[in-house]
């Protein structure tokens, strides 16, 4: 069934049918309703190729997957990508995946210069973000999954800052005054947001943070094991992992030394995932809906592409899950 067929059956012009289906152009409501009713009856679906030719659109979007992720990050990006593709499919779009990092954005450049996509989703944001600078310069619609300090960038993110501040303040108000934080790569915006939330949580609880207990850029289980060993000698009340992978390494280091949780020391995480779900005791953590993050980012990008009204910053909610690992004995 084509526009020609509908026009012939209803004895009206192709232009009138096109205006009725697109919602653009001046025709009467009765004619529009007549066309739409018939199109529904015959299950008319517009040709994707015809649409793309008419609008100069590819009907594709790109997803920039960070190539510098650790294997333990994979569940997050898999779930986020599932949300992106689910939303894209429901809107008759396809998704191209490109691997990029803070230095190499050649994958994005190929997609843009070969006219493969109508817009991009950036799966990770950096303090000096070359992908953002390139896409802004090329005037390509894009949305960041994560916060960005660059003005005028449409962002969809979990509310990491507020979540980390709330969890930190709760632990302090429970009487755990000496909190240690072990964090990852400081060039990732998400890690800076979590660090600043941790510091703000101290301010809210009116407790001065001990900066000697903050360890950023802690890469690998060997490094984290050494940090934990030092903290056990420093009369620390609770060790917080900035994400689930770091927290798992903290737990491994404690278990290998027969340190009891929560009797000897408390443990918490600023991000929960399947990595921590089966640990005993269960770990106090922040929970986010990662699939919803991907879906929201995708729908927001489609709004930007179609030049619909768009909120510049969307922050998704979180849940503070207080578990046995921070129980006061």
Inter-residue contact 285 to 131 (CB < 8 Å): no
10 Å Cβ neighbour count for 142?
25
Class of domain 60-158+290-317: alpha beta
Q: Could you tell me where the DSSP H helices lie in 91-188?
A: 106-113, 130-138, 160-173
State whether the Cα torsion 37-39-41-43 is positive or negative: negative
Report the run of H or E that residue 55 belongs to, with start and end.
Answer: helix 48-55
Please state whether beta strands 120-122 and 60-66 pair in parallel, antiparallel, or not at all (unpaired).
Answer: parallel
pLDDT band at 130 (very low <50, low <70, confident <90, very high): very high
Q: What is the mean pLDDT of the chain?
A: 90
For the stretch 154-189, pLDDT in tens is 999 999 999 999 999 999 999 999 999 999 999 999
For the stretch 194-220, pLDDT in tens is 999 999 999 999 999 999 999 999 988
Cite the residue boundaries of each domain of the chain with CATH code 1.10.260.40: 3-46
CA pair distance 201, 181, nearest whole angstrom: 12
Cite the residue boundaries of each domain of the chain with CATH code 3.40.50.2300: 60-158+290-317, 160-289+320-326
For the stretch 94-110, pLDDT in tens is 999 999 988 899 999 99
The CATH H-level superfamily of 160-289+320-326 is Response regulator (3.40.50.2300)
For the stretch 57-66, pLDDT in tens is 788 999 999 8
The CATH H-level superfamily of 3-46 is lambda repressor-like DNA-binding domains (1.10.260.40)
pTM of the model: 0.78
* Long-range contacts (CB closer than 8 Å, 24 or more residues apart) made by 276-284: 276/244, 276/247, 276/248, 279/248, 279/251, 279/325, 281/323, 281/324, 281/325, 281/327, 282/323, 282/324, 282/325, 283/247, 283/251, 283/323, 283/325, 284/167, 284/171, 284/321, 284/322, 284/323, 284/325, 284/326
Quickly tell me which residue has 């009797």 as its tokens: 263
User: Longest Cα pair distance anywhere in the chain, in angstroms?
Assistant: 87
Determine the average pLDDT of the residues in 281-302.
96
pLDDT for residue 14? 82
pLDDT band at 239 (very low <50, low <70, confident <90, very high): very high
Inter-residue contact 188 to 125 (CB < 8 Å): yes
Model confidence at 53: pLDDT above 50: no
């Amino acid at each position: 069934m084509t526009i020609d067929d509908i026009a012939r059956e209803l004895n009206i012009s192709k232009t009138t049918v096109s205006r009725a289906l697109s919602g653009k152009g001046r025709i009467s409501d009765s004619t529009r309703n007549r066309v739409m009713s018939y199109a529904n009856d015959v299950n008319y679906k517009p040709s994707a190729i015809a649409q793309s030719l008419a609008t100069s659109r590819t009907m594709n979007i790109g997803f920039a997957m960070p190539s510098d992720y650790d294997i333990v990050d994979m569940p997050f990006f898999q779930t986020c990508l599932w949300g992106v593709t689910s939303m894209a499919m429901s809107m008759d779009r396809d998704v191209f995946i490109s691997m990029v990092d803070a230095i190499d954005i050649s994958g994005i450049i190929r997609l843009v210069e070969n006219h493969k996509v109508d817009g991009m989703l950036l799966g990770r944001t950096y303090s000096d973000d070359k992908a953002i600078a390139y896409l802004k310069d090329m005037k390509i619609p894009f949305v960041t999954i994560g916060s960005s300090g660059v003005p005028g960038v449409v962002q969809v993110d979990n509310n990491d800052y507020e979540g980390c501040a709330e969890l930190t303040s709760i632990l302090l108000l429970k009487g755990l005054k000496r909190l240690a934080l072990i964090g990852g790569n400081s060039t990732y915006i998400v890690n800076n947001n979590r660090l600043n939330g941790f510091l703000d949580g101290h301010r809210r609880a009116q407790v001065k943070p001990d900066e000697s207990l903050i360890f950023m850029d802690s890469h690998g289980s060997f490094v984290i094991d050494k940090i934990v060993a030092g903290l056990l000698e420093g009369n620390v009340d609770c060790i917080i992992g900035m994400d689930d992978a770091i927290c798992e390494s903290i737990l491994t280091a404690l278990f290998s030394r027969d340190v009891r949780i929560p009797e000897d020391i408390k443990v918490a995480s600023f991000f929960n995932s399947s990595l921590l779900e089966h640990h005993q005791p269960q770990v106090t953590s922040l929970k986010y809906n990662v699939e919803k993050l991907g879906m929201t980012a995708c729908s927001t990008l489609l709004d930007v592409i179609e030049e619909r009204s768009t909120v510049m910053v969307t922050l998704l909610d979180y849940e503070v899950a207080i578990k046995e690992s921070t129980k006061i004995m």
